[in-house]
Structure 1
Amino acid sequence: MRRMIALGSVAGAPGVTTTALALATAWPQRTDGGVRPVVVEAGVWGGDLAARFGLPHSPGLLDVAAVVGQPQPGSLLGAVRELPVGVRAVLAPSGRAPCTEAVRLLGEDGGMRVLRGEGNDYGSVFLDLGRLTSETQKLAGAADGVLLVARGGADALAHVYAQASGLAQAGGRMTLCVVGECPYAPSEVSAALGVESVVRLPWDAKGADVLGGRRHGQLQVEGFRTSPLLRTVRQLAGRLIEAGQGDPSCAEVLADVLRERNIR
C-alpha cells in the first residue's frame, strides 16, 4: 500500500503547496519501486494548482470523491494530471463548499481505500491540506507522517505554539518545517515548542517561482545546480523514509490532538 504524508499549516500561507511540490520533485523514486509520487490537493479551499499552472481541475479531487462509495471506486491515478514542473497531482476546484464535501468523503473508509490503493499499489501520496481545519482532521490523522509548515518569524512560531504544541505527542511522526529566515536555531525551536523534529527550509526565490508557476521550467534535483530548496527537501525525504512513517498509534494521537485543539 502507498505511504501517505500530510502537509498543512496552522496559520497564514507559509508555503504548504510549494513544499508539497518540492517534496514530490525531490522524492527518491527508487524508494517506491520507481513509481513517482502524487500530490493531492485536499484542503477545504482548493484551486491553487489549477490557478498556478493554468490547468483545468477536472479530472481531479471531485471525481475521486464522487466514486469513493462504490464497491470498485477505481484508481487514484485516473484523476492525476501532469504539472509543468514534472509533478503528478490531483487538482481541486476553487470553492469551500465542493472541496469540503470532497475532503469529508476522502476521510471515510472508501476514500482511504482509494488514497492508499491495494496491496500491490506503490508510490507515495502527499496530501496538501493547506490550513488545517476540523474538516481535514481525519486525513491528517490517517497519514503516516505530518509536515507542519510555518514561517520562521516569532509571530508565526507563536501561532504554532498556541495551536499545535500538543502535536509533539505524535513523536517522530510530526516534523515542523520552518520556511525562510528564523532568528532561532532548530534546537531552540524544538525545545520551545516541544516538537522533536524541526527542519529549516531555505528561502529559495528561484525555486519558489518555478514551483509557484511564475517561472517556466523544472528544477534540477541532483548535481551542482540543484535548487537549495530541493537539496534540503531531499534530505528531509531521506529522514522521512528512514523513520518508516507508519505507526498507526501516532496517527490516532494526532487526530485526538487536532480535535482537542479545535483547529479552525
Structure 2
Amino acid sequence: MGLFKVLLNTIPRPLLIKVSSLVKPILAIYYKGNKYTDPIDGKSYRKFLPYGYEIQRKNVLGPSTLSLERHRLLWLYLKKNSDFFNTPKKLLHVAPEQCFYRLFKKQENLDYTTTDLFSPLADVKANICDLPFENDSYDVVFCNHVLEHIIEDRKAMSELFRVLKPGGWGVFQIPQDINRLNTYENSTIKTPKERRKHFGQYDHVRVYGIDYFDRLRASGFSVELFKVVDQFSEAEIKKYALMKNEILPICKKPL
C-alpha cells in the first residue's frame, strides 16, 4: 500500500486538511517541472502525485494546491464559461475544498459562506439535509463529492434547491460511473468494509449512474452537462491532468 493511500485511510479528514497545508510548499518545489500545469495557480510540474482511498490513481494530485481532476475541471469552467470572478455573488460552499477556500475568501466580489458538519474550514456547522439558511439566499452553491456520502440524497438536493435564488446556479459534482444507467444503492450495506466493497469507498452509500442528472431535475433544477471530451482538446486534457470521461453538472434554479 502506498504512503498516500495509508495516510488517506488512517488520518481523519479534518486533521489531514490541517497537516497538508504544511507540506504543500515542499511538494511544489520537489515536483517542479513543465509537463503538467495546475490551472488554479498556473504552476507547472514534472508530474502530479498519486491519490485514492482504495485504488490509487497516478498523476492526479496537484503539488501546490492539492487539486484533483475534478477541482481543475471546475476551475477551468468557472474561468472560461462563467462570470464567477467578475460579478458580485453570494456563494454557499458545502464541504469547502482546500484548494479553493483561501482563493474564494480573497475574492472581493464574493460574499462567501462555508458549511459542513466536520470540516475545520466550515463557517457554519450544519447538516446538508437541514441547512440553517433562508429560502432563496444564494446566487451560487457548490456542493462537490458530498451527495455520495448522504443517505437521504434527495432531501439534500431539495435543500440545495431551496437555498438557491431563482436564476441562481450550482455545481454538484459526484463520483460517477457513466457506463451505469441506474444508480446502485442498498440500504442494508452499512459497514465500512461492505461499503468499500460495493461502493468503492468506506464512507460512500451508493454508486451514481447516468440517472444522477434525473435526480437533480426531479428536485427542480434544470441541468446542463459540461463534458470534458466536448470542451477540451487531447493536449489540454493531458496538460491539466483531467478525467476524460467526467461530466460537470451545471444546475440552475428556474426564475
Structure scoring higher RCO (CA < 8 A, sep ≥ 6) equals: 1
Q: Which of 1 and 2 has greater Rg? A: 2
What band does the TM-score fall into relative to the shorter chain? Answer: 0.3 to 0.5
Report which of the two has the higher share of strand. 2
Task: State the TM-score, normalizing by the size of structure 2.
Answer: 0.32
TM-score, normalised relative to structure 1:
0.32
